[in-house]
A and B are shown apart, each in its own frame.
Chain A
């Protein structure tokens, strides 16, 4: 066991305790009322004791663990409490999980769902919460029996005297642990002693989901609450002037209609929003509001250029050469190396704008009074939302509460907070609680879209087919997707990479595995082509490069661990039986490292009725310690399907500043019949600090898909969406 500083002290405990007993609980009442916590063999407690911000123990031994981070489907509501329960050493069957409200002081953990960081950043705080709780229960029992703590053991929810007959359940001693000084140092378990971490556990909200309980933001209801919908300008570059206000207000079921302005001076990164001025319509029924939206007659004014997709393509090509270079890297002398290379391969890759399209459209509840604001709904960044509402309405953050509902998908869209800010502005103006609802069309045409990208890769091989020069140049609207210090940086003697800026007035933002999803596809299919030109097996070719990076790295640093990277490739190679002859199966491989985790995939493709079809996907993952295998496998499978879907089918085109696609009638998402038949997931076993899985499963899927498509069809796929885009090599010369 190693001792670890808790970062708790007496004062912070008191703070935790007040928060748990006061403000936070109010927020929970709606969220938990759907199902009383029923645990087999455990009575529902009539008294609860707050141990710390994460843990509440009932007098019957039932334990409530508050999950700090937003749940967007990445399953942290199961995995984060599992870590607490492991260190508290309580049977998982005794645990009920509740969503914690925003209170970073109490949780000692940044409460957001982004960058696949929940598990990585929460790892210490979660273990500490469990371990301090366990320690305080031990101390309470030691006092009670007048023995030393070292005479006791605490496990499986029971404290036992080592050399005696006495034992007591956590529930029976919990009252005595309340108010004890929080230890400054606590021992943490060694990974080999884990009983719960590393098992298969089901989603803690599974039964609420399959019975249709009110879990999501859109399901939230408060007595006296109004409903609101918004109308935003029909095009990027437009602004609302006025509208047929009195006509709309007279419509049946409509209570009010007005323009709100949510312009935030000094905006944060999460305030991306092309349409700060919006029309808000208020009523009691969603259908009436939808009809009123149709009856709007609005004067819009054009305030900046109305862009279209052709313009975007031209701009990408131009700025690839002329745009301002942001991050970059250079090793050796790439120009000279390319000049003397025996073979030079150059390819360009593109991908269109994409929408997030969470299945649950944007929505939020707000109840703003004179100097207080209560916000409830689906957000990946509750803290950022609190700050933005504070800035817009001039209400101090101490007077703002944010409760998180379950979230019907995030993918990065809900890192941005405009919908919550809009709800708050509407509630303020109305003077009563309101739930703002976006229609699917509102959601799809007013996004923080995945930028459109163009990247060009160039490789030089010498006479012996060694990779002697490599160049990656990428531009995007508004910024390219190249990561200069990622693979193959460090593995090629002469190397250059440039991330180039451009511009657009279309609002863009993070989209599941930002930039990595495109870069992995482009780079990994390019390397496949280079390996082929070098006459090498694509896995062996990559392994050679990892050897170089490990044994004799080029340059000062690179952003990956070559051994772990190679490790997932080796594992997938072995599991998939790579290299064996499998008649009728066309295989593609890719590996990518992003968001601190390593994933390699092999796609098995077949031709069915003349069409390529992914039959099976083999995945090897290294994310360090796996907390919950069930959730980990599920999210990797989801990432693969998401990667295939968006690379194959999805695109958002623009005409006169408007998204051409407004609903799933024309915006294609992958469907049942297009999904692979099977995805098998393998994990590298090690004791490395765990990292996240929400994003890393997606990027390599794009590359492995392109490479399998090549084997199946004989055609290389450079441009997304693969199913409809013209795959000719594009001319990126200017003029």
Chain B
């Protein structure tokens, strides 16, 4: 699956939000920048680049991962879902809950929060407060929307 063009470039085949994509980038390029710079999928955000804020959270094979720490060469054909792939019209239950609770302030962290929450709820449809805190604690919200995030997650859990 590698077709080296120059010593620093390779072609990678990716499956993103159900679509096949091909990119030609350095193998160590983090998925965050592949999504943002190469594929114009800018919903996934850059916050720290060192796995400390969660703004860049995507799903790799259904698991929440920090895309700033995931080199494109490590994706190895596994399917990726980004915030853009969650739903067509903001109607994923987690997005709906986010809108009903009116969670965002600036909104910058919210794609990462939502992707992390979706992965949590997929694994554990009815998390306790403690489980919510543990699962979400890697996602910083500088605006301090934590209480509403918790409310939104609990709302999805209650409806499930």
Interface residues of A (CB under 8 A from B): 71-75, 202-203, 205-207, 209-216, 218-219, 221, 227, 252-253, 284-288, 290, 357-361, 406-411, 439-440, 630-631, 634-635, 637-642, 645, 663-665, 669-673, 675-679
Query: What A residues does B95 contact at CB under 8 A?
Result: 207, 210-211
Q: Given the known inter-chain contacts A203-B102, A672-B149, please indicate yes or no for A439 contacting B144, CB distance below 8 A.
A: no
User: Which residues of chain A come closer than 8 Å to B37, judged between CB atoms?
Assistant: 227, 284-287
Residue of A at shortest CB range from B38? A285
Known A-B contacts A206-B99, A359-B140, A678-B147; A286 and B33 likewise in contact (beta carbons under 8 Å): yes
8 contacts between A and B (CB under 8 A): A72-B106, A284-B37, A360-B106, A361-B47, A408-B108, A642-B142, A671-B137, A672-B149
Number of interchain pairs (Cβ within 8 Å): 194
Report whether B50 and A664 are in contact in the complex, using a CB–CB cutoff of 8 Å: yes
Residue of B nearest to A679 (CB): B147
Q: Which residues of B contact A673 (CB under 8 A)?
A: 133-134, 137
Q: Are B114 and A285 in contact (CB under 8 A)?
A: no
| Residues in chain B near residue A631, CB distance under 8 A | 102
Q: Assuming A218-B42, A409-B142, A669-B142, is B52 touching A638 (CB within 8 A)?
A: no
B11 CB → nearest A CB, Å:
15
Which of B43, B48, B98 has most chain A Cβ within 10 Å? B48
Contact of A634 (CB < 8 Å), options: B9, B83, B90, B105: B105
Q: Which 8 A-B pairs have the closest CB atoms?
A: A212-B43, A73-B106, A408-B108, A641-B144, A212-B83, A73-B105, A664-B52, A209-B107
Given the complex of chains A and B, what is the CA–CA distance between A162 and B5 in angstroms? Answer: 76
The reply to whether A360 and B82 contact each other, CB–CB distance below 8 Å, is no
* A663 and B144 contact, CB distance less than 8 A: no
Check if A637 sits within 8 Å of B99, measured CB to CB: no
Pairwise interchain contact A638-B98, C-beta atoms closer than 8 A? no
Q: CB of B74 within 8 A of chain A?
A: no
Residue ID in chain A nearest B42 by CB atoms: A219
Contact A218–B45 (Cβ < 8 Å): yes
Q: Are A672 and B137 in contact (CB under 8 A)?
A: yes
Contact call A211/B83, Cβ cutoff below 8 A: yes
Instruction: Spell out B's residues near A (CB within 8 Å).
Output: 6, 8-9, 25-26, 28-30, 33, 36-38, 40-50, 52-53, 55, 82-84, 86-87, 89-90, 95, 98-99, 102, 104-111, 114, 129, 132-134, 136-150
Q: By DSSP majority rule, is chain A's interface helix, strand, loop, or mixed?
A: loop
Residue of B whose beta carbon sits closest to that of A631 = B102
Q: Nearest CB to that of A218 among chain B residues? A: B46
Task: Contact check, B36 vs A406: say whether CB atoms are below 8 A apart.
Answer: no
Asked whether B33 lies within 8 Å of A210 as measured between CB atoms, the reply is no
A210: which of B6, B110, B142, B147 is its contact (CB, 8 Å)?
A: B110
Nearest chain B CB to A621 CB, angstrom units: 16
Cβ–Cβ contact A206 & B8, under 8 A: no
Q: How far is the CA of A219 from the CA of B37 in the complex (A)?
A: 10
Query: Is A73 a contact of B143 with CB atoms below 8 Å?
Result: yes
Most central of A361, A673, A679 by chain B CB within 10 Å: A673
Q: How far is the CA of A487 from the CA of B63 in the complex (A)?
A: 53
Residues of A contacting B114 in the complex (Cβ-Cβ under 8 angstroms): 210
**How far apart are the CA atoms of A635 and B147 in the complex, in Å?**
12
Contact pick for A664, options B29, B53, B90, B145, CB 8 Å: B53
Question: B8, B84, B104: which has the most chain A beta carbons within 10 Å?
Answer: B104
B23–chain A nearest beta-carbon distance, Å: 11
Q: Which residues of A sit under 8 angstroms from B132, Cβ to Cβ?
A: 672
A202–B99 contact, CB under 8 A? Answer: yes
Task: Tell me whether B84 and A212 are in contact (CB under 8 A).
Answer: yes
Q: How far is the CA of A365 from the CA of B132 in the complex (A)?
A: 38
Query: Which B residues are CB-close (under 8 A) to A207?
Result: 90, 95, 99
Taking a contact as CB atoms under 8 Å apart, the answer to whether A664 and B48 are in contact is yes
